[in-house]
Amino acid sequence: MHDGATFRHTTVLLDEAVDGVLARPDGVYVDGTFGRGGHSRLLLSKLGPQGRLIGIDRDPEAIAAAAAITDPRFSIVHAGFADMAEELAAIGVNQVDGVLLDLGVSSPQIDNPERGFSFRFDGPLDMRMDTTRGESAADFLARADERAIAQVIRDYGEERFAGQIAKALVARRQAGAPLTRTDELRELVARTVKTREPGQDPATRTFQALRIHVNGELEQLDQGLKAALRLLAPGGRLSVISFHSLEDRRVKQFIAEYSKHVFDRRAPFAEPAPLILNALGRIKPSDAEVAANPRSRSAVLRIAERTDAPLKD
């Protein structure tokens, strides 16, 4: 068994994300994806004495890593960020000055074979971010029908050969040899996908799709963005790092929805509804960061600021 704390993690867009979320030094902040605490540690270093930071993560290894932070201004909650409003209310926090989300899977999760996130190492076909609950990737593949498997791989992996991969997976299961290891899945996909994208393993899209499905990542994101909006005080900031187009599209559309004037067609001469968010920008990693950390290549940071307009239910 590997100790997740031994795997090195390079935080992507570290300064940009923290500077983007920091509205007031003595405010209350949420790091909704604590991971190994890269963003949290930098944010704590910039907070004033009255500042407060609440870390949230659903990975038990991340919760264990948080114990290394002894700053009294910091606390950690074991939960998914989709539930942040309820989790914060339980500790008496109903409004915050900033929410930071670093989406996707972290380097320690990818690099630990026991977690089953990567096709680069053989390990159990798990992929759960919270290993204390839910269905693993192997469990899903052992019970789902061909149509359901194909839909997951097509929708979340944008994989052209989703139907063929699903058919091969079900055929193997029916032959009495269901998949339980990452190497088995990688080899099956390699045999099934006939054309390969340059520089990309054929299994990349299938692994991404299963991980997103097992963890309900897109549903978590939709719920988490709404929760963040409910929590943000006027002038508070939302800072979100995405790593693939499915995530970034949702973040972009969410910010756009609340940062445009809405006119009531039934009252064409009335004032438009006030903006709820101000979009502050989109940032990509520098060439130097990409050279130092190739995993940052696809990252996109989007920042928005809450206005003082009331949020209607």
Give per-residue pLDDT as tens, 7-24: 445 688 999 999 999 999
Structure tokens at 231: 């929590």
Q: What domain count does the chain have?
A: 2
Do 168 and 300 have their domain in common? Answer: no
Q: How far apart are CA 89 and CA 91, in angstroms?
A: 5
Give per-residue pLDDT as tens, 131-176: 999 999 999 999 999 999 999 999 999 999 999 999 999 999 999 9
Q: Are strands 277-283 and 300-306 parallel, antiparallel or unpaired?
A: antiparallel
Model pLDDT, residue 233? 97
Model pLDDT, residue 285? 93
Give per-residue pLDDT as tens, 274-303: 899 999 999 999 999 989 888 888 899 999
Q: How far apart are CA 178 and CA 313, in angstroms?
A: 46
Lateral strand order in the sheet of 52-57: 74-78, 52-57, 28-31, 96-102, 232-242, 300-306, 277-283
Model pLDDT, residue 198? 83
Range of the domain at 235: 4-108+217-306
Query: What is the DSSP-derived secondary structure letter of residue 5?
Result: G
Q: How confident is the model at residue 78 (pLDDT cuts 50, 70, 90)?
A: very high
Structure tokens at 127: 């992929």
Model pLDDT, residue 105? 83
Q: How confident is the model at residue 68 (pLDDT cuts 50, 70, 90)?
A: very high
Q: Are strands 232-242 and 277-283 parallel, antiparallel or unpaired?
A: unpaired
Model pLDDT, residue 200? 86
Q: What share of the chain is helix, strand, coil (3-state, %, to 5)?
A: 45, 15, 40
Model pLDDT, residue 267? 60
Question: Euclidean distance between the first and final Cα of the chain, in Å?
Answer: 47
Q: How confident is the model at residue 2 (pLDDT cuts 50, 70, 90)?
A: very low
Do 209 and 235 have their domain in common? Answer: no
What is the CATH classification number for the domain harbouring 209? 1.10.150.170
Give the phi and the psi of residue 280 in degrees, each rounded to 5: -100, -15
For all residues of the chain together, what is the average pLDDT?
91
CB atoms within 10 A of CB 118: 21
Last residue of a domain, one of 156, 189, 215: 215
Q: CB–CB of 214/136 below 8 Å?
A: yes
Model pLDDT, residue 264? 56
Give per-residue pLDDT as tens, 234-280: 999 999 999 999 999 999 999 999 998 655 566 666 666 689 999 99
For residue 118, being part of any structural domain is answered with no
Give me the mean pLDDT over the 179-193 stretch: 96
Q: How many residues does the chain have?
A: 313
Model pLDDT, residue 185? 97
pLDDT at 27 over 80: yes
Do 12 and 98 have their domain in common? Answer: yes
Last residue of a domain, one of 215, 242, 276: 215
Looking up tokens 């939960």, which residue turns up?
Answer: 79
Do 221 and 238 have their domain in common? Answer: yes
For residue 122, being part of any structural domain is answered with no
Percent of the chain exceeding pLDDT 70 equals 92
Do 14 and 97 have their domain in common? Answer: yes
**Predicted TM-score (pTM) of this structure:** 0.90
What is the CATH classification number for the domain harbouring 22? 3.40.50.150
pLDDT at 1 over 60: no
Query: What is the DSSP-derived secondary structure letter of residue 102?
Result: E
Do 102 and 221 have their domain in common? Answer: yes
- 3-class DSSP assignment, residue 9: coil
Do 200 and 226 have their domain in common? Answer: no
Model pLDDT, residue 9? 55
Model pLDDT, residue 130? 94
Last residue of a domain, one of 215, 247, 281: 215
